[in-house]
Structure 1
């Protein structure tokens, strides 16, 4: 039988099945193509079918509803673009919608990718629209014979991998903030303001998706599906705890960005205040000098000193005396 060639996760598959594996219950698994997967039935052993599909293909909808007997409303949830993280139980199925960081080239961290998941005792079906790296990480572990052994293990490992990959985006944001704080004087203010705006936007978007993701993971633990072991439930709790720490880190990053932005605004306000103060002093200095020179420049008869050759120097001396007197008064008032 010809085995399917997995499509690189950076490209879009033109088929319903992106990759498939039949887990052997010992950490490994064999490839399976779409034709065999549609008619696959659980045997007497510990085999688990895992299919990673493109939810945009009509074949996936028909197979889920007609072959597996999944209710139509549930299939619509699994294949729709409404991808808010959540989890619920539908008869023997566990339906989970989670989101992962988009690490595709040119993507922003807050542009998260949804992964829908349908699981029961012997099948796990994951669906996505855009490329997502986390299933590839789990696939690599299976191909090295160090992967999950049961359906519960697979569900937990997929959730753990999605959450673990979020840490790199958070670490990158914290590193960017640290760099801005340490080299604040080396960057233009506009550049720092733009970076802070991007970081705050990322924090808000990540938290908007990750907070309901935490609730979805909590619901997995509460669903009490019989094929999830106590160890699986414990691992889910650990994943929830890790996700909670990430949410706290996001809050810290957001507060750090606010503090840095407030510092920039305070510096800008102080600089503007100093500039206005200097301009006010200059205006105060030249106001009486301008009054005297303006008065002496009027074109009316009877101006004293018009015919006196020393009048100009007398006027300059008087202006210097006024200037010196102003400086003495400003110094006494501690204006500078």
Structure 2
């Protein structure tokens, strides 16, 4: 069956809309019907998912929802740091999720703004976000959230759950790097480790404020945000805290592995320098001797002796052996 929203997606901000029936299901609603919508029964909730980049979006929020100008600016602007606050009997929040769109890096984040008064739920985004579509699919199958509070709770839960896959991927790469031979792939390994460290720092920097935003929702949400919704948010907060701890562990593991590789590289370089110094120490006296005997002046001994070359070679060999013995006794070799 064709979704009536498809006809309006190219001319309106509406990406999709549903009227929740309070039992896990919902029916589509068009942009025109949403303008003057009122609940047919106390259990109905209207959810509109909008593209906040469409022209006139801020004006519509101010006019149709009677939002103050600063709140409308927050919902449509590019200030995407996670935050949440209560405004009368409404809840306003900005949440972040990992960008899984093609070509995106794990540290790329997508923000989603939301506003709700308990009977109406408005979510807004700039870039495509998979989480609202997952919930939409569950609603269309009759297995979705029954009300606004449960929808907000599920949005937060799915946004956080998606972090786990990025953390698992980073840990898998770290395990793979630990199994590689650092003598053969040192440069490549250091590059990949640096990427993981950057990803960990970006995830921590972007997701840590979300912890505070969810705590604000759990603590200050209006009365229509029921007790079981607050418990679910508390579970999401605990899960997010574990994920942030996992990010710290991944970052520390990357630091340890990077330090180990750099230590091995430094040790190898120092060993090479040491061996060159030993070789120079051995051949310096020999070079001095041969250089002294090679000066082209009169009175050099052995110039007319046919056995002089072999005598000098024997002296050099004895000197070489003597130097090896001395270096070994000094434990330089």
Same fold (TM over 0.5): yes
Residue 271 in 1 paired to residue 272 in 2? no
Residue 138 in 1 paired to residue 135 in 2? yes
Map 1:14-53 onto structure 2 (within 5 A): 15-53=12-50
Deviation at 1:209, TM superposition (A): 1.2
Residue 211 in 1 paired to residue 208 in 2? yes
> TM-score, normalised to structure 2's length?
0.96
> TM-score, normalised to structure 1's length?
0.95
Q: Distance in 2 between matches of 1:224 and 1:68?
A: 18
Deviation at 1:190, TM superposition (A): 1.3
Deviation at 1:2, TM superposition (A): 7.4
Contact 1:6 1:18 in 2 (8 A): no
Q: Distance in 1 between matches of 2:253 and 2:60?
A: 49
SS at match of 2:151: helix
My pick for the range that moved more, 254-263 or 40-49, is: 40-49
My pick for the range that moved more, 127-136 or 181-190, is: 181-190
**Alignment partner of 2:172 out of 169, 175, 189:** 175
Q: Distance in 1 between matches of 2:184 and 2:16?
A: 47
1:307 is matched with 304
Deviation at 1:331, TM superposition (A): 1.5
Q: Which runs of 5+ in 2 are unaligned?
A: none
Cα-to-partner distance string for 1:64-100 (whole Å, 9 max, x where unaligned): 1101111111000000001100000112210010000
Contact 1:16 1:59 in 2 (8 A): no
Residues 296 and 186 from structure 1, CA distance in 2 versus in 1: closer, same or farther, beyond 3 angstroms? Answer: closer
Deviation at 1:306, TM superposition (A): 0.5
Residue 105 in 1 paired to residue 105 in 2? no
SS at match of 1:100: strand
Moved over 3 A (4+): 12-15, 184-187
Q: CA RMSD in A?
A: 1.7
**Alignment partner of 2:314 out of 310, 314, 317:** 317
1:122 is matched with 119
Deviation at 1:44, TM superposition (A): 2.6
My pick for the range that moved more, 319-328 or 56-65, is: 56-65
Q: Distance in 1 between matches of 2:328 and 2:41?
A: 97
Deviation at 1:40, TM superposition (A): 1.2
Map 1:1-336 onto structure 2 (within 5 A): 3-5=4-6, 15-185=12-182, 188-336=185-333
Contact 2:3 2:28 in 1 (8 A): no
